[in-house]
Structure 1
Amino acid sequence: MTIRVIIADDQQLVRAGFRKIIEAEDDLAVVAEASNGLEAIAATRY
């Protein structure tokens, strides 16, 4: 079972770092990135 993850942080470099860490795990998948909370909430609606 794959856990779907949304990465939310205002700094693009931090999001990129988290993406690399998460994508190294077989059971995790990044499905969206957001630069703030509102974008993260909006990403859950798709």
Structure 2
Amino acid sequence: VMEGVKEITRNGAKFLDGQEKEFDAIILATGYKSNVPSWLKVKN
């Protein structure tokens, strides 16, 4: 788990704590709302 993203770079991202990491892909999941409870039923 990383602290907040400061900047997206050509090869990855720079983070607020100064670290820079390379990534093959970055997946943005803003506004995600799970509907799992509507179809996943748990037996007691």
Calculate the TM-score normalised by the size of structure 1: 0.20
Larger RCO of the pair (alpha carbons < 8 Å, separation 6+): 1
More helix by share: 1
Select the structure of larger CA radius of gyration. 2
